[in-house]
Amino acid sequence: MESKKERDLSIGLVAYFYDPSSFSKLFNYFNVSNDYETCNGTDTTIEIRDVSYENLKELLKIKDETVPYLIDVRNRSEIVETYLLPKAVNVPLHELNEAFRLPKDKFQEKYGKYKAEKSHSNLIIYCRSGARAVEGYRCLYSMGYINIKRYKGSYLEWNERLEQ
């Protein structure tokens, strides 16, 4: 049996797909820090570049720990219930703007991984199903990160393909 908060979150996420401005209302309702708001209103016409499951698997075979640089924008509670993709760092969407403005040493201390440079060539963002990854993509793009890709299938596709 889901709690009232879980049900309200589900309803809120569905509402978000129809009205992206409802995102900040969701943050307020659940008392979550809303640093995302500073990224809201970025150019919505930017072209989102995607990476496929197959391409991501190939990139992960590279023995260099810096390639690719994966950012998981799911909430920490979601990570506890599931897992991170290999080489990923968890920076929840509501922390993304503030996190990527931190000095390198503070980022490393807080998130346990080095902070990617704006010129990093294999920056890949994902979430549970792909929707929050778009918002994270826009946020990073607005900060000057230009070599970003979204793993459109995100965690759900990754997990499904691993089980096959």
Each residue's pLDDT tens digit, 88-145 = 999 999 999 999 999 999 999 999 999 999 999 889 999 999 999 999 999 999 999 9
DSSP state of 86: T
**pLDDT value of position 95:** 97
- Render 27-58 in DSSP notation, one character per residue: HHHTT---GGGGTTT--TTPPPPEE-HHHHHH
What order of strands is seen across the sheet that includes strand 123-126? 50-51, 148-151, 123-126, 69-72, 88-90
The answer on 18 and 72 residing in a single domain is no
Number of domains in the chain: 2
Q: Tell me, yes or no, whether 37 lies in a domain.
A: no
The answer on 126 and 83 residing in a single domain is yes
The answer on 48 and 15 residing in a single domain is no
The band of 37, judged by pLDDT with boundaries at 50, 70 and 90, is very low
The answer on 93 and 56 residing in a single domain is yes
The answer on 75 and 1 residing in a single domain is no
> The domain containing residue 21 runs over which residues?
1-32
Half-sphere exposure of 14 (CA within 13 A, CB side): 5
Q: Hey, how many other C-beta atoms are within 10 angstroms of the C-beta on 56?
A: 21
Q: Tell me, yes or no, whether 18 lies in a domain.
A: yes
Residues 41 and 21: their CA atoms lie apart, in Å, by 9
The answer on 50 and 24 residing in a single domain is no
User: What percentage of the chain has pLDDT greater than the value 70?
Assistant: 72
